[in-house]
Amino acid sequence: MRNWKNQRLQLKSNWNQKDSNGRRDRRGFQLSAVVDETHAVAKKILARLSVGPLRVRDVWKLAVQDSSGVRKAVTVFYWLRDQGFIRKTGKDYCAPYELTEKGRHFYKALD
């Protein structure tokens, strides 16, 4: 389970930091938190795929268990598919997905 209060406090503390020109740099800190969260979800999905094939509905189950949100998990799952990190094992509509070599390298890079 996440500790949203601490994450929000961290973003607020970063919110008031100033860059070298004395301006407040707000966008970068919010974006880095989103990227870190996306990479964490991708890492969980790739870790599960390294064990064996996975269906999209299983991603939903993982998202509910990790409380990362179904929409976020499915969005990351399809992004991994579009980037070529995962692929379907067959032509069937409900065929499970498997990890590709490119996906294995990306998973090692996330660790």
Cα separation, 55 vs 27, in Å, equals 35
- C-alpha dist (Å) from residue 16 to 8, 24, 30, 33: 13, 6, 12, 16
State residue 84's pLDDT score. 93
- The SS3 of residue 54 is strand
| Triad 36, 28, 32: Cα angle to 5° | 0
3-state secondary structure string across 17-29? CECCCCCECCHHH
Q: What is the pTM of this model?
A: 0.66
Architecture of the 4-17+25-110 domain? Orthogonal Bundle (1.10)
In the block, residue with structure tokens 């660790």: 111
Low-confidence ranges of the chain (pLDDT < 50): 1, 4-15, 28-29
For position 88, what pLDDT does the model report? 92
pLDDT at position 13, please? 47
Determine the pLDDT at residue 71: 83
In this prediction, residue 60 carries a pLDDT of 80
Q: What is the pLDDT of residues 62-82, one digit of tens each?
A: 877 877 778 888 888 889 999
The domains of the chain are located at: 4-17+25-110
> How far is the C-alpha of 35 from the C-alpha of 3, rounded, in Å?
17
Q: What are the Cα distances from residue 67, in Å, to 3, 24, 58, 75, 89?
A: 11, 32, 14, 15, 28
